[in-house]
Amino acid sequence: MAQSLVKEFTKGLWAEIPLFRLVLGLCPALAVTKTCENGIGMGMATTFVLLFSNILVSMLRNIIPSKVRIACYIVIIATFVTIVEFVMQAYTYELFLKLGIFIPLIVVNCVVLGRAEAFAGKNTVMLSAADGLGMGIGFTLALSSLGAVRELIGAGTLTVWGGTPLFTIGHGYIPFQFMVEAPGAFVGLGMMLCLMNLIGKK
Amino acid sequence: MIPAILLMLGIGATCGIVLSLSSKIFYVYEDPRIAQVENNLAGANCGGCGYAGCSAAAEAVVAGKEPPTVCIINSKEGVEAVSRIMGVDAGAAEAPLSYNLCEGGNRAENKYHYMGVSSCKAMTAVFGGHRVCTVGCIGLGDCVKACQFDALHMGPDGYPVVDDAKCVGCGACQKACPKDIIQVKTLSEKLMEFNQEHGALAPCSQTCPAEINIPKYISEIKAGKYDEAVQTIRMRNPLLLSCGRVCPHPCEDMCRRGIEDEPVSINQLKRFVADYEMNSGSRIPITCAPDTGKKVAVIGGGPAGLSCAYFLRRIGHQVDIFDAMPKLGGIIRYGIPEYRLPKKVLDWEIQGILDLGINAFTQVKFGVDFGLSSLIASGYHAIFMGIGAWNDYALGIEGEDLDGCYKGIDWLSRFAGGQEMKLGKTAAIVGGGNSAIDCVRTLKRLGLEKVYIVYRRTRNEMPANEVEIVASEHEGIDFVFLAAPTRVIGDENGKVKGLEYLQMELGEPDASGRRRPVPIEGSETVLDVDMVISAISQAPDPSFKDTDPTPKIKDLELTRWNTIDNNPETLQSSIPYIFTGGDSATGPSLVVTAIGGGRRAARSIDLFLKGKPVEPVENSLQGKNIPESIFKKVDGITPIKRAKMPEIPVSERLDSMIEVDLVLPEDQALAEADRCLNCCRICYNPDTEFPIAK
Amino acid sequence: MREMLSMIVVLTVLTAVSGGLLAAVKVKTEPRIEEQVLKFQKAPAIKAIFADATNDPIKERFNVKAEDTELQVFPSTLADGIKAVAFEAKGTGFGGPIGLMVGVNLDTDEIIAVRVTTHAETPGIGSRAKEDLSFVGQFAGMSMASNFGTKGQGGDIDAMSGATVTSVGVSQAAVAAQNLYKKLKPEIVKQMN
Amino acid sequence: MGDLFVLAISCIFINNILLAQFLGNCPFLGTSKKMETAVGMAMAVIFVLVMAGMITWIVDLYLLKALNVEFLRTVSFILVIASLVQFVEMFLKKSIPGLYAGLGIFLPLITTNCAVMGVCLINIKEEYTFIQALVSSFAYAVGFGLALILFAGVRERVILARVPKALQDTSIGLITAGMIALVFTVFRGMV
């Protein structure tokens, strides 16, 4: 049992890391990763939703009729998303402002619904929780690393938490602003995927 | 808080009611496996598989278009679950295997050199690929890359080689191939394939009415793999022993070597491997698909019926054959004499077909002993009618009913059936076809002093096989050409004593391109004979339409030649569940045409039994050739003599019905196989290197 | 029928529970959110605008209303006894809405200072509107009757080079502030007395 | 009228839902491998987005705002959209099988397409009138289709290029999308 828990948890961190391996959840990945901080925030919000929606979906998996399964899953997910929205407003307000419209869109992040359908709908609560947490952390890692790369190249800074840059590249550096603009998001993710391919497939 | 709960209650209830109602109102049946498969896909609707959503991908899996691994983000368990769902399907119990249609590869000429791409798909986008051949293998190995099971490797000649042991039939290679050259099919699908306009086909295979893959079996002979050659032939023709003996091999007329040299003796090679199997003492096993639970009645156990029954059985249907004669074989048993096709050989061949699990009921005549209604009552889902063409045409001249006058097929079949025949001393056989020759050569063997063949045109126009004419010349038959019989002269006892004919001369060519014979006034001549056999073609016997009490049989339309009216591409008759083929569909024709027809009818019957529309083969090559594959000139040929057919000397064969033609010895067969250029659509293996003449 | 019923019931119960849960969370977090909004967005800007305030503008905040517009106003008495108010207006920048806190001298109708409160602009480009005071500094001392458009649009404000869209967003917010002020000033003055 | 036209242009080109707003990117990459799939997906998105735009606008005004429970917007919108998509799917399958064959298979993909949800939220946030919401939904969907079809066209050509192994498939697809997004940035400032 413990072994399979660990397995379900760790697979999301590397072997099936959602953004890079499965190429899921692209919208938030591209939209919010202007800074590393945003990536971390979005990742944490998604992790929270993934964890709790996975738990609830797996608890209810036997009573939800399959024809309204998508509708039910999505209500569960949306509920947690709204809770996250409140919590972020109450405790991490500045981040909430930056992530703006993308918080409600966690609802339609295919990673979340995908895990509900593919995993939580068929597995026990414990396994689903491990899976959700692993996938969420993997997603957070991916978002924050993409955010870090884009921010470093595009703005010359690295912001991890609290809005003030943790690190700034020396004054001689002229930021390559392309990377923090929309096209840079696509190119940045493309290059990250390439890097993952180079490091090695599962 | 209350408004929030009420609102969500309202929306939830509305959505629930709408969805549950519409799921009832708009209920559409779909394969339950689609839902099961979809349940086991990742369900992210991410589109990563190239399909729009998981349900579309699930449909594709169930339809067999995609392997269970279609979902790129599915877990291992998911893939296994999907495989299990697909595995319980009876159809899938017959494992599909990948196979490569193009064996040209690097030998095909290049029209350009482009080193910039490394995938077939990309190369195809540039003017359809770098090879001159539009259908052949590109050779960059997209299929090899697609194979997850290490079952495909790029062979030394620039085309992929499949390792059957490792292939799981997942279909990834087929999907990757932009040329449709590598295909993943079950044996049933392969058996039911027909020549198509875009096929990688040699001229000989295009021409063969049974569509046998001739270059393949010859190269298998060349490699000493006789068993495989037999199996290759059996993919298209179950009567290889018979065909190897009696086929007039139209394929050899199209042989590419024949343009510069003598054609390859294709048919002798077929006979060589067929005899090899028979003489080896054991039969090469023939596999059949799992039972489909459908039952088909085949009326007529001739070549068309046997072929149809054989193919239907191999693709999993249950087949019963009904025949009016005491033994199966039809015209090849009762029309072809022993010295051309020994009955022992035919028995061995037919037994092999029946051993697949086909029941045969003999001496039951359609319309007399059983009819349409009795077949339907017995639970047959479809009927194949291959009743042949056994009604001899009459000469329509005076004295035809005299004692000593016979009709060709009637006489041959009665003789073959073992009846005691009354013989004269001299005989005249009217006609120039194979039946006429069969009659004369049989009569000669029965000891008649003089046997004439009376034909109204000249030797050049004789429709009989050339080898047959030559053999009868050797055997001392007298040919009376340009003679039109006008009267049979009888003596006072009503016995034949002569045949009067009018001399003819050749006039203008007629519609068939043969010069029309014109009678010479006052040239009546009498041939002194005491036996006259007319063998001037036959028509099917339509009597079943009157004797069968089933009213429905009246709906079966016949043509004015009494053949069963049918769609020549699907062989479906005017009654949807009755299919036809062979002489009863085409009028008297070749054995190999009947075999091809039997297989084509089997395909239509299979479609019919599966409830699919009975449609012709797409872009069918039936009766056509691919223009670009027909050459005027073939480079790189060194003439090599064609193997001569060994035969028993005339002196030894005229006093018995012993088989005349012998099988090639192995060394000669191998030498002959070596003459084959292993042609495909446009490429081939020349004998010598030659500069590209362009 | 059983299946249909269960479809309806499950979905309805689920949504109702969701509605109730969310309403409860909302009630719990509401005060905290309001506090956060003030603390993070408005308080720093107000402190910067009324650097020498003698009162606590945030504590004394009140809402004014005229017709269908409602506005939160932060009143202040400056060191030299001048009565002033600050309020927020919105414009649209590159990455979404931009909030602009505008401090106005009630006696002279002149702008004391403006600060960007919220934005989601590109780091290093649009975000300079908040960090680099030379841009927002232009507004200080201008009359509420001035043309707050950027020079490109025929107004008086110099746009930040390379961040035109953000500049336009800020000037939009200023124009919005202008309109609000015009509409609500009598009400503000009434409430302050 | 002119305003609506400007709104439409800005939704199609300047704020292109895929390339500037980053909404609906999963199906963008998934369904752009083949041109015919891309066209089908584009049509299905136009169809669903217009319907969803209208219904959510009505839900927002007459239910959420009326009951003062705007915080339930996310939950109610997504539930309405998911049910709508499922309903349309069942309806088409039974009643207009021809259309279903063309569009139906794309419908489930739309439930989780954030473009639909995103546009519905934008409509509310920008406080559009019903007509404006209708136009913006349609225009955003057209913009989605335009970008998708353009991208599919480019992707069909990319296979001709000699792409390094590590960059193949999705990786080069994303970089290509970046280039297209770069092209779309020139529309900024047009309105």
Higher pLDDT, B490 or D29: B490
B295 to chain A nearest CA, in Å? 40
What is the DSSP secondary structure assignment for residue A181, as one 8-state letter?
S
Q: Cβ of C22 under 8 Å from any chain B Cβ?
A: yes
Percent of chain B with pLDDT over 70: 94
For the ranges B364-378, B566-580, B645-659, D100-114, the lowest mean pLDDT is seen at D100-114
Domain that holds residue B224: 203-283+625-675
| Angstrom distance (rounded) from CA B39 to CA C121 | 43
Q: Which helix (H) or strand (E) holds D91?
A: helix D73-95
- What are the chain A neighbours of C26 within 8 Å (beta carbons)? 86
What is the rounded average pLDDT for all residues in chain B? 86
Binary contact (B44, A75; C-beta < 8 A):
no
Q: Please tell me whether residues B308 and B382 are part of one structural domain.
A: yes
Higher pLDDT, B132 or B558: B558
Closest chain B residue to A66, measured at CA = B39
- The yes-or-no verdict on residue B91 having pLDDT over 50 is no
Domain assignment present for B656: yes
Beginning with the edge strand found earlier in the chain, give each strand of the sheet holding B405-407 in spatial order.
B405-407, B531-534, B426-430, B450-454, B478-480
| Angstrom distance (rounded) from CA C76 to CA C51 | 10
How far is CA B187 from its chain centroid? 16
C164 to chain B nearest CA, in Å? 37
**pLDDT category, B87, cuts 50, 70, 90?**
low
SS3 content of chain A, % helix, strand, coil (to 5): 75, 0, 25
Binary contact (A175, C124; C-beta < 8 A):
yes
Binary contact (C123, A67; C-beta < 8 A):
no
C-beta atoms surrounding A4 within 10 Å: 13
Mutation test of the interface with chain C: which of D75, D83, D185, choosing the one with the most C Cβ atoms within 10 A? D75
Domain assignment present for B196: no
Contact A113, B46 (CB under 8 A): no
C119 to chain D nearest CA, in Å? 16
- What are the chain C neighbours of D75 within 8 Å (beta carbons)? 15, 18-19, 22
* SS3 call for B527: strand
- The yes-or-no verdict on residue B693 having pLDDT over 50 is no
- What are the chain A neighbours of D25 within 8 Å (beta carbons)? 26-27, 30
Which pLDDT belongs to residue C40?
73
Which pLDDT belongs to residue C124?
59
Q: Cβ of A87 under 8 Å from any chain D Cβ?
A: no
- What are the chain B neighbours of D111 within 8 Å (beta carbons)? 45
What is the rounded average pLDDT for all residues in chain A? 83
Mutation test of the interface with chain A: which of D174, D183, D186, choosing the one with the most A Cβ atoms within 10 A? D174
Task: Tell me the per-residue pLDDT of B334-388, one tens digit each, with 9 for 90 and over.
Answer: 999 999 999 999 999 999 999 999 999 998 999 888 888 888 888 899 999 999 9
Higher pLDDT, D3 or B412: B412
Task: Tell me the per-residue pLDDT of D103-143, one tens digit each, with 9 for 90 and over.
Answer: 666 676 677 677 888 889 888 887 888 999 999 999 999 99
What is the DSSP secondary structure assignment for residue B296, as one 8-state letter?
E
Closest chain B residue to C3, measured at CA = B20
SS3 content of chain C, % helix, strand, coil (to 5): 45, 25, 30
Closest chain C residue to D78, measured at CA = C15
- What are the chain A neighbours of C96 within 8 Å (beta carbons)? 100-101
Report the alpha-carbon angle B262-B264-B270, nearest 5: 150
Query: What are chain A's partners, defined as 3 or more CB pairs within 8 angstroms?
Result: B, C, D
In the block, residue with structure tokens 């007319």? B534
ipTM value? 0.72
Contact B507, B518 (CB under 8 A): yes
Task: Tell me the per-residue pLDDT of D156-168, one tens digit each, with 9 for 90 and over.
Answer: 777 677 777 788 7
Mutation test of the interface with chain C: which of B15, B17, B20, B23, choosing the one with the most C Cβ atoms within 10 A? B20
Contact C153, C135 (CB under 8 A): no
Task: Tell me the per-residue pLDDT of B25-76, one tens digit each, with 9 for 90 and over.
Answer: 877 777 777 777 777 776 666 556 666 667 777 877 777 667 676 766 666 6
Helix (DSSP H) and strand (DSSP E) numbers for chain C: 5, 5
C-beta atoms surrounding B587 within 10 Å: 16
B152 contacts: CB under 8 Å, gap ≥ 6: B98, B143, B144, B146, B160, B161, B162, B163, B167, B173, B182
Residue type (1 letter), B58 = A
Binary contact (B4, C23; C-beta < 8 A):
yes
Binding residues of B: 46, 49, 54, 71, 133, 137, 143, 147, 167, 170, 173, 177
Which pLDDT belongs to residue B601?
95
Q: If you write DSSP's letter for every residue of C71-130 in order, what string do you get?
A: EEEEEEEBTTS-EEEEEEEEEE-SSSEEEEEEEEETTTTEEEEEEE----PPTTTTTHHH
Binary contact (B47, D91; C-beta < 8 A):
no
Closest chain D residue to C25, measured at CA = D71
Measure the CA dihedral B292/B295/B300/B305, to 10°. -10
| Angstrom distance (rounded) from CA B313 to CA B623 | 26
* SS3 call for B647: strand
* SS3 call for A29: helix
- Total tally of structural domains belonging to chain B: 6
| Angstrom distance (rounded) from CA B427 to CA B27 | 77
Contact D74, D60 (CB under 8 A): no
- The yes-or-no verdict on residue B94 having pLDDT over 70 is no
- The yes-or-no verdict on residue B692 having pLDDT over 80 is no
Over range B589-604, report the average pLDDT.
94
How far is CA B387 from its chain centroid? 18
In the block, residue with structure tokens 């027809």? B597
Q: Which residues of B529-562 are buried (b: 16+ CB within 10 A; e: fewer)?
A: bbbbbbbbbbbbbbebeeebebeebeebebeeeb
Which pLDDT belongs to residue A1?
60
Domain assignment present for B615: no
Binding residues of B for [4Fe-4S] cluster: 46, 49, 54, 71, 133, 137, 143, 147, 167, 170, 173, 177
In the block, residue with structure tokens 């707003």? D21
Task: Tell me the per-residue pLDDT of B202-233, one tens digit each, with 9 for 90 and over.
Answer: 999 999 999 999 999 999 999 999 999 999 99
What distances in angstroms separate CA D186 from CA A34, B18, B380, D12, one per listed residue? 20, 45, 71, 13
- What are the chain A neighbours of C22 within 8 Å (beta carbons)? 79, 82-83
Partner residue facing C18 (CB), from D75, D188, D189: D75
CA nearest neighbour of A180 among A17, A12, A33: A33
Over range B138-147, report the average pLDDT.
84
Higher pLDDT, D52 or B71: D52
Contact B573, B385 (CB under 8 A): yes
What is the DSSP secondary structure assignment for residue B181, as one 8-state letter?
-
Q: Cβ of B2 under 8 Å from any chain D Cβ?
A: no
Q: Please tell me whether residues B312 and B380 are part of one structural domain.
A: yes
Partner residue facing C123 (CB), from A83, A86, A151: A151
Q: For B168-319, where are the alpha helices, taking DSSP H only?
A: 172-176, 187-191, 203-207, 214-222, 226-234, 240-246, 250-253, 257-260, 266-279, 303-314
Provide the residue ranges of all domains of chain A, joining segments of one domain with +: 2-199
Contact B254, B207 (CB under 8 A): yes
Which two three-digit tokens encode residue A142? 């991916």
**pLDDT category, B142, cuts 50, 70, 90?**
confident
What distances in angstroms separate CA B36 from CA B41, B69, B78, B195, one per listed residue? 9, 15, 11, 37
Provide the residue ranges of all domains of chain C, joining segments of one domain with +: 46-192
Q: Which helix (H) or strand (E) holds D95?
A: helix D73-95
Percent of chain A with pLDDT over 70: 94
Residues of chain C with pLDDT under 50: none
Handedness of CA B137, B140, B142, B143 (dihedral sign): positive
Handedness of CA D85, D86, D91, D93 (dihedral sign): positive
Region of residue B141 (phi > 0: left; psi between -120 and 50: alpha; otherwise: beta): left
Partner residue facing C26 (CB), from A86, A98, A157: A86
Which pLDDT belongs to residue A165?
74
Over range B476-487, report the average pLDDT.
91
Which pLDDT belongs to residue B467?
86
What distances in angstroms separate CA D189 from CA A34, A159, C149, D2, one per listed residue? 22, 30, 16, 17
* SS3 call for B520: coil
* SS3 call for B530: coil
* SS3 call for B660: coil
Contact B402, B507 (CB under 8 A): no
Domain assignment present for B195: no
Which pLDDT belongs to residue A52?
92
Partner residue facing C15 (CB), from D69, D79, D189: D79
Partner residue facing C7 (CB), from B6, B7, B16: B16
- The yes-or-no verdict on residue D59 having pLDDT over 80 is yes
Task: Tell me the per-residue pLDDT of B276-306, one tens digit each, with 9 for 90 and over.
Answer: 999 998 898 888 888 888 899 999 999 999 9
- What are the chain B neighbours of A67 within 8 Å (beta carbons)? 19-20, 23
Which two three-digit tokens encode residue A45? 């919000």
Which pLDDT belongs to residue B275?
93
State pTM to two decimals.
0.60
